[in-house]
Structure 1
Amino acid sequence: MTLGTRPPAAARVRSTAHRLRALRHHRFRRFLVGQSTSLLGSGMNTIATTFAVLRLPGGGADAVGVVMAARILAVLAVLLLGGVLADRIGPRAVMLTADALRFASQGALAVLLLTHSARVCEAVVLAVVLGIGEGGFGPGLTALVPDLVPADELADANSLLQITQAVASVAGPGLAGVLIAVSDAGTVVAVDAVSYGVSVLALAGLPLSRSAAPRRGLLTELGRGWQEFTSRTWLWVTTLHISLFNFALWAPFLVLGPALAQQRLGGAGAWGLVLALYGIGSIAGGLALLGRNPGRALAWSVAASAGWAIPAAALAVRMPLAWVAAAALLAGAGAAVCSTLVTTVIQRDVPAEVRGRIGAFDSLGAFALGPLGLALAGPVSGAVGAERLLGLGALWQLTAVGVVLALPSVRRHDAR
């Protein structure tokens, strides 16, 4: 070792500290704890609610579908309103109200389940309330994070949030399964309610967010947000790209993947392994981004979205389970890079006073076609074949990535 050379251990410590620099900020740490807890609860919720509804009087698969559809439709219905309110009164206030609604809905459902007095109609109503809370929370999240960390640390903050989401997606269902086995679904729903309560406390301890937007009519404010959204070609093009991906590839993958796993990969356990490795890949992708601030982040985000085509292609060509699982691992890493970088670009490039509405239009556009894709996947696969439909979806995704990257507004964009 030459004089003045930093010892390797010290260099590693410095590198780790740089990657975790967003945690230096007390406000972000507080928010991350609350968000991580509520994400873990949300990861447990789907399994808990499914098993709870299955066991209700008059329950069954149809009732589960109604409850889930009610929740998704409620999310989509209030996204734009959530964006307007986040810009009008500040994201913290909207997110606090949203989490209070989620706490109340899950708390009420837990009481009904634990007292054995729940009915399907009540589960549907409470699913709507939960969806309203989720729809209001999302746009505020896009707007709040830039208030918690400096602009040059946004990528690190978003990476940490992505990592916690991926961890919750892996750990939540497993923990829910264990709790249901030793107690019942009502207990898991109660734990989910508590997780939202923790998030409420975390948000309540943050300083009030700025209220950047002047108060005008709802349609006027939506119109301003739409104008800002459509004026940025890179923004609406990448949103459309993700929307068509959800419709043409991911919805068929989620519907047909379990069926193909049942036919030739080993059943539910094999499909659980595929989804678990997707989550682990997301964790790895988030970790890889920590401490990095890439140029052309938008182009890297779009390029990373090509990873979603790999597991669908593996199923389409009848690869064995090991290859499908490995493909899911790569897809998860690409998903983390895509989501983290595009969120960071939006937060850096969009004016603070319309950030909530832009986040709402982005989310609504990205997921609006998802339910239609889920509904059509089964009938279309019956006509053309499951493997062929997945292969066409993978081909679409790879082609779309090439087309989007060919646009100068995407390829040359640099928001650093």
Structure 2
Amino acid sequence: MTTTVIPPVAHAPGRPAHRDGNVLRWLGAYAASMIGDNVFYIALSWAAVQSGTPSQAGLVMAVSAVPRALLMLGGGVVADRFGPRRVVIGSDAVRCAAVLTVAALLFVASPGLWLLALLAVVFGIVDAVFMPAVGALPARVTGRDQLARVQGMRGLAVRFANVLGAPLGGLGVALGGSATAFALAGLLIAVSVPLLISVRMREPASAVVDGAPGDPGGVPARGDESGTHVRVPDGRDGAAVAPERPARATAWRDLRDGLRYIRGHRVLAPLIVAIALGDLGFVGPLNVGLALLADQRGWGASGMGLVVAAFGAGAGAAALLLAWRGTLPRAGSAGAAALLGGSVAIGALAYVPGVGAAVGVALAIGLLAGLSGALCGALLQTQSDPAYLGRVTAVAGIVSLGLAPLSMPLTAAAIGWWGTGPVFVASAVVCGLGGVVALCVRDLRRAELPR
């Protein structure tokens, strides 16, 4: 029986991630970059509205999603080939330079929508490599036993960025218009670069696993870059094969190897399916559906704001729980149960009698969906071989950022035809199917986080 070879950790043995200066520097860089992103999108939306019609502004805001969805699989290959820290540093440097260039142009002229659309496309292209690299980076800055806690800390950073970024963007617009807001976004993104440079990296060794419940699925890992051959799954029984090809394969071969690795993995493959179903059932109702529900019930903008705030508070509490505990027993079963509970709450949201009850249900949705999302993210981190983590993150990112948003216009159209109640219930069923998949697949149901 073969076992996983775990490389030495980069931080002192036994030191939890929230007390590790190396992890905290990474977290500070990530938070600064995410706050800068939020400020950037406020600045972009304001500048687009000021420069064109509402439909043109909407097109500018949406155009970045196309290259991000189309190129993200390739971005995962780039992250695994060149190392996630190098890719993240380069991505943030490019984004910073692009945003500051546009800010300078806006200070002296009014180039128009074409410049904003070009900037959005650049961001989309860079995001396609940035996001997989961000997902692969935690495995290089901390030990495997701390990855779940880091996932919770990352969730808290995202909530913090969402809360702080919008007011900062609005303040920048108020003080000096879009140019000032863009400059502020560029400076915030720039803060992440020296912090990332100061983070110490560890290079994970190659791993071969035995496929026992809780192990990474019985699929052998790619060898290191110094070898002459790589070992990949054969797609049938998890046995290793040694193809007659050099380790420095083409990017296309790397992509195919990554997809084959995921497809043959007894935990990751059903986990990504569960994540996809959960996101497809969640995104529509909690975005466009909630706005339509608030309008129909007469809750107003303030009532909708309270519901959204309650959801954010619940999700933040779930991230805090994982950051504090570091792990939860029976993570696969717990994530599935949380996803099922969250789906029931989504269906119930359309039938609550008033704002107060909606706030309570939204709090439950945030807590359960946040816990499920954090556990799924932690399992992705701990079940993936580090050599494939960029590609694994890319596939999961395409599901969350490429497919799930497509449900929003469909949700709006369906509500117009059938009303909020049936559509929320149908979405809840789709979301709940993700939990059913997780419970029905034994290896995923029994998956554990390292202690």
TM over 0.5: yes
What is the alpha-carbon distance in structure 2 between the residues aligned to residue 166 and residue 175 of structure 1?
Answer: 14
How many angstroms does 1:379 deviate by? 2.1
Count of aligned pairs between the two proteins: 397
Runs of 4+ that moved beyond 6 A: none
Q: Sort the Cα spacing of 1:408 and 1:219 in 2 relative to 1 into closer, same or farther, 3 A.
A: same
From 239, 244, 254, the equivalent of 2:287 is: 254
What is the alpha-carbon distance in structure 1 between the residues aligned to residue 278 and residue 381 of structure 2?
Answer: 23
Task: Map 1:182-193; keep pairs closer than 5 Å.
Answer: 182-193=175-186
194-203 or 333-342, larger mean C-alpha shift = 333-342
From 97, 106, 111, the equivalent of 2:90 is: 97
What is the alpha-carbon distance in structure 2 between the residues aligned to residue 189 and residue 72 of structure 1?
Answer: 20
What is the alpha-carbon distance in structure 1 between the residues aligned to residue 111 and residue 278 of structure 2?
Answer: 38
How many angstroms does 1:210 deviate by? 3.8
How many angstroms does 1:35 deviate by? 0.9
Task: Map 1:201-350; keep pairs closer than 5 Å.
Answer: 201-207=194-200, 210=203, 212-213=224-225, 214-289=247-322, 290-309=324-343, 312-350=346-384
Matched, 1:161 2:195: no
Q: Sort the Cα spacing of 1:147 and 1:40 in 2 relative to 1 into closer, same or farther, 3 A.
A: same
Question: What is the TM-score normalised by the length of structure 2?
Answer: 0.81
Q: Sort the Cα spacing of 1:159 and 1:20 in 2 relative to 1 into closer, same or farther, 3 A.
A: farther
From 66, 73, 83, the equivalent of 1:73 is: 66
Amino acid in the other structure paired with 1:123: L
Q: Sort the Cα spacing of 1:122 and 1:310 in 2 relative to 1 into closer, same or farther, 3 A.
A: farther
Q: Which residue is equivalent to 1:197?
A: 190
Q: Which residue is equivalent to 2:42?
A: 47
What is the CA deviation profile of residues 74-123 of structure 1, one whole-angstrom value per residue up to 9, with x for unaligned ones? 21122112211111111111111111122123223322333341311111
Q: Give the 3-state SS of the residue equivalent to 1:55 in structure 2.
A: helix
Q: Which residue is equivalent to 2:30?
A: 35
Q: Does the CA contact (< 8 Å) of 1:91 and 1:209 recur in 2?
A: no
Amino acid in the other structure paired with 2:325: G
Q: Sort the Cα spacing of 1:210 and 1:149 in 2 relative to 1 into closer, same or farther, 3 A.
A: closer
How many angstroms does 1:223 deviate by? 0.9
What is the alpha-carbon distance in structure 1 between the residues aligned to residue 171 and residue 348 of structure 2?
Answer: 31
Amino acid in the other structure paired with 2:448: D
What is the alpha-carbon distance in structure 2 between the residues aligned to residue 274 and residue 199 of structure 1?
Answer: 32
What is the alpha-carbon distance in structure 1 between the residues aligned to residue 301 and residue 41 of structure 2?
Answer: 16
Q: Does the CA contact (< 8 Å) of 2:293 and 2:350 recur in 1?
A: no
What is the CA deviation profile of residues 392-411 of structure 1, one whole-angstrom value per residue up to 9, with x for unaligned ones? 21233234423431221221
What is the alpha-carbon distance in structure 2 between the residues aligned to residue 354 and residue 344 of structure 1?
Answer: 15
What is the CA deviation profile of residues 139-189 of structure 1, one whole-angstrom value per residue up to 9, with x for unaligned ones? 112221111112211111221111111121122223333443444233222
Amino acid in the other structure paired with 1:47: I
Q: Which residue is equivalent to 2:215?
A: none
How many angstroms does 1:338 deviate by? 2.2
What is the alpha-carbon distance in structure 1 between the residues aligned to residue 176 and residue 295 of structure 2?
Answer: 28
Q: Sort the Cα spacing of 1:220 and 1:302 in 2 relative to 1 into closer, same or farther, 3 A.
A: same
Q: Sort the Cα spacing of 1:274 and 1:108 in 2 relative to 1 into closer, same or farther, 3 A.
A: farther
From 415, 423, 443, the equivalent of 1:389 is: 423
What is the alpha-carbon distance in structure 2 between the residues aligned to residue 65 and residue 352 of structure 1?
Answer: 38
What is the CA deviation profile of residues 19-78 of structure 1, one whole-angstrom value per residue up to 9, with x for unaligned ones? 99213333212111111111122223333321221011xx13212221222111121122
84-93 or 278-287, larger mean C-alpha shift = 278-287
Q: Does the CA contact (< 8 Å) of 2:68 and 2:127 recur in 1?
A: yes
Q: Which residue is equivalent to 2:236?
A: none
Matched, 1:63 2:50: no
Question: What is the TM-score normalised by the length of structure 1?
Answer: 0.88
Q: Give the 3-state SS of the residue equivalent to 2:327 in structure 1.
A: coil
What is the alpha-carbon distance in structure 2 between the residues aligned to residue 230 and residue 88 of structure 1?
Answer: 20
What is the alpha-carbon distance in structure 2 between the residues aligned to residue 350 and residue 403 of structure 1?
Answer: 19
From 19, 23, 41, the equivalent of 1:24 is: 19
291-300 or 218-227, larger mean C-alpha shift = 291-300
229-238 or 31-40, larger mean C-alpha shift = 229-238
Q: Does the CA contact (< 8 Å) of 1:109 and 1:118 recur in 2?
A: no
Over aligned residue pairs, what C-alpha RMSD do you find? 2.4
How many angstroms does 1:222 deviate by? 0.6
What is the alpha-carbon distance in structure 1 between the residues aligned to residue 335 and residue 178 of structure 2?
Answer: 38
124-133 or 362-371, larger mean C-alpha shift = 362-371
What is the CA deviation profile of residues 188-237 of structure 1, one whole-angstrom value per residue up to 9, with x for unaligned ones? 22211111111122122234664945421111101110111011233222
Q: Does the CA contact (< 8 Å) of 2:273 and 2:434 recur in 1?
A: no
Q: Does the CA contact (< 8 Å) of 2:331 and 2:375 recur in 1?
A: yes
224-233 or 275-284, larger mean C-alpha shift = 275-284
Going by fraction, where is helix more abundant, 1 or 2? Answer: 1
Amino acid in the other structure paired with 1:168: A
What is the alpha-carbon distance in structure 2 between the residues aligned to residue 192 and residue 326 of structure 1?
Answer: 34
Q: Give the 3-state SS of the residue equivalent to 2:64 in structure 1.
A: helix
Amino acid in the other structure paired with 1:327: V
Q: Does the CA contact (< 8 Å) of 2:64 and 2:124 recur in 1?
A: yes
| Gap runs ≥5 in structure 2 | 1-13, 205-223, 226-246
Q: Which residue is equivalent to 1:405?
A: 439
Amino acid in the other structure paired with 1:35: Y
How many angstroms does 1:364 deviate by? 1.5
Q: Give the 3-state SS of the residue equivalent to 1:118 in structure 2.
A: coil
310-319 or 120-129, larger mean C-alpha shift = 310-319
Q: Sort the Cα spacing of 1:328 and 1:145 in 2 relative to 1 into closer, same or farther, 3 A.
A: same
Indicate the percent of aligned positions where both proteins have the same amino acid. Answer: 28
What is the alpha-carbon distance in structure 1 between the residues aligned to residue 273 and residue 312 of structure 2?
Answer: 24
Amino acid in the other structure paired with 1:202: L
